[in-house]
Amino acid sequence: MQRSFSQVDVFATGGFSGNPVAVIHDADGITTEQMLEITAWTNLSEATFLLPPTSADADYLVRIFCPGRELPFAGHPTLGTCAAWLAAGGVPRDPDRIVQECGAGLIPIRRDEGRLGFAAPPMTRTGPIDPVLLATRLQQLGLTAGDVVASSWIDNGPGWMGVLLASADAVLDVPIPSALIPGFDVGLIGPHHDGGECAIEVRGLFADAAGQIREDPVTGSLNASVAQWLTRLGRLSTPYVAAQGTAIGRRGRVFVDAAGGDIWVGGDTTVTVSGSIAI
């Protein structure tokens, strides 16, 4: 069967500089096993599948997959799916607010100055990281306890632990581990110098289904929980811009603001591929 297919560049600052996500429209009848297979085949960090909502308050339902597993929430797939849904003719119930239904519940999305932005969902795991696990992760990254300014679980679905380093340069200097490490999900954060375009540099390192460590070009979920964590600690104030992807030659930018009691995470989205996929 032919289904509509989109590929969206999210958090980009120009052509092909952000994080791509594959979106399969009209996904009724596609099994979970097929969704996993399609996600692996796209060779992207995530693929999403659009379905009719089950909640009367939602505009659409999306299932979000990364290689090997389904995620309750992820940030750049949320914005990419919304952009694809709108481009395909989707009309929200409220013209100023789109509501996505996913495994994490209902996620409000707004349009602001031409960008889409989502309200950061509550974190599902916070607090101190087990010292043995933290020491192991630092060793795998070539870091020591003395390099760390602060650390915490900042998990809103994908499994992130957050590690704050002293500077953006320190973040960019961290090598990607070459060993296979299943369950590895580490967000590295470091401040840029005052007065620059971006307040922080962010890197998201995660293990794929085989345990190989990969780097996400720009990570909405990680930036959401980083904002919640570091604004609460008083180390960041909104609004600010985060840079991500620099270490792998991308120019991703994430725009973070606070309004109505929520942290809003936004960025530019471009539907770069439109067509069909045979399933």
Query: What pLDDT shows up at residue 112?
Result: 87
Contact assessment for residue 244 and residue 223, using Cβ atoms and an 8 Å cutoff: yes
**pLDDT given at position 168:** 98
**110's tokens:** 């707004």
Q: State the pLDDT at residue 79.
A: 98
pLDDT tens per residue across span 62-109? 999 998 899 999 999 999 999 999 999 999 999 889 999 999 999 999
Q: Is the entire prediction scored with pTM above 0.75?
A: yes
Residue type, 185: D
Spans in the chain with pLDDT lower than 70: none
Strands 213-216, 200-207: parallel, antiparallel or unpaired by DSSP? antiparallel
Q: What is residue 256's predicted lDDT score, i.e. its pLDDT?
A: 98
- Token readout for 155 is 């998990």
**3 state SS of 100:** strand
Pick from 80, 62, 160: nearest CA to 118: 80
Place of tokens 């991500």: 244
**In the prediction, which pLDDT does 15 show?**
87
Q: What is the pLDDT of residue 134?
A: 98
Instruction: Please report the pLDDT score of residue 208 as a whole number.
Output: 86
Domains assigned to the chain = 2-121+265-278 (3.10.310.10), 125-260 (3.10.310.10)
Give the separation between CA 198 and CA 86, rounded to whole angstroms: 29
Residue ranges in the chain assigned as alpha helix (H): 32-42, 75-87, 131-140, 168-172, 220-232
